[in-house]
């Protein structure tokens, strides 16, 4: 004898429970796929709107990253250390394709950094580097984007294994890490750190 379908009129309460369970599992699978489809993108913001954009993204429950560094500001009567965006005009977002719209509808967001009409994706390695930069705000600062220079690798310390361009500024060595997708760079103070040439 054929069993009734899950949505049929004569389905019992157990079958409705099973159907709810199946629908919940399907929804959970869709959420998991959606989470896997999330990618790190760079949102370009209006000038000095990075913090406002970050607050709105948080209210929308969207994952974002706004790396900052310590910046000394001098006034006639005092000097103050402030947290400033490491990449002025950029907030990084971890979103799926369908979450592009709420990002673009955020006040202060101009557009997503794109190439050939497609949003440029940042690698997980680059994002992890930016997270580490954020945890050492006193050791980093923005740096002009460089295409040329000697490639080196840090041998010891919190930035061990990192590769970048070695430069000098005010008699101190710095490692310049570039973020190709947005053509920006960050300089890390290498005082006391060993570096080796990258072949």
pLDDT for position 1: 46
User: With contact defined as beta carbons under 8 Å apart, do 174 and 167 qualify?
Assistant: yes
Burial (0-12, 13-18, 19+ Cβ within 10 Å), 137: middle
pLDDT at 16 over 70: no
| Stretch 5-23: mean pLDDT | 49
More confident residue, 2 or 84: 84
96-152 pLDDT, tens per residue? Answer: 999 999 999 999 999 999 999 999 999 999 999 999 988 888 889 887 775 556 788
Work out whether the CA dihedral 170, 172, 173, 175 comes out positive or negative.
negative
pTM recorded for the entire structure: 0.67
33-86 pLDDT, tens per residue? Answer: 655 689 999 999 999 999 999 999 999 999 999 999 998 888 778 888 889 999
Please give the angle made by the CA atoms of 40, 41 and 47, to the nearest 5 degrees.
135
Query: Structural domain boundaries of the chain?
Result: 15-122, 124-199
Instruction: State which CATH number among 1.10.10, 3.30.2450, 2.30.30, 2.60.40 fits the domain covering 124-199.
Output: 2.30.30
The CATH number of the domain covering residues in 15-122 = 3.30.70.940
């Amino acid at each position: 004898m054929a069993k009734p379908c899950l949505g049929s009129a004569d389905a019992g309460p157990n079958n409705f429970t099973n159907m709810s369970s199946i629908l919940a599992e399907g929804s959970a699978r869709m959420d998991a796929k959606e989470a896997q489809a999330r990618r790190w993108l760079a949102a370009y913001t209006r000038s000095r709107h990075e913090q406002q954009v970050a607050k709105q993204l948080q209210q929308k429950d969207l994952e974002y990253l706004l790396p900052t560094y310590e910046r000394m500001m001098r006034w006639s009567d005092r000097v103050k250390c402030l947290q400033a965006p490491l990449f002025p005009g950029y907030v990084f977002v971890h979103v799926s394709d369908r979450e592009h719209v709420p990002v673009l509808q955020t006040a202060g967001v101009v557009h997503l950094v794109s190439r050939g009409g497609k949003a440029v994706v940042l690698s997980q390695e680059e994002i992890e580097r930016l997270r580490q930069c954020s945890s050492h705000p006193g050791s980093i600062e923005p740096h002009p984007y460089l295409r040329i220079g000697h490639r080196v690798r840090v041998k010891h310390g919190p930035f061990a294994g990192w590769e970048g361009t070695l430069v000098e500024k005010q008699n101190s060595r710095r490692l310049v890490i570039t973020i190709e997708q947005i053509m920006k760079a960050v300089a890390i103070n290498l005082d006391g750190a060993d570096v080796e040439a990258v072949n």
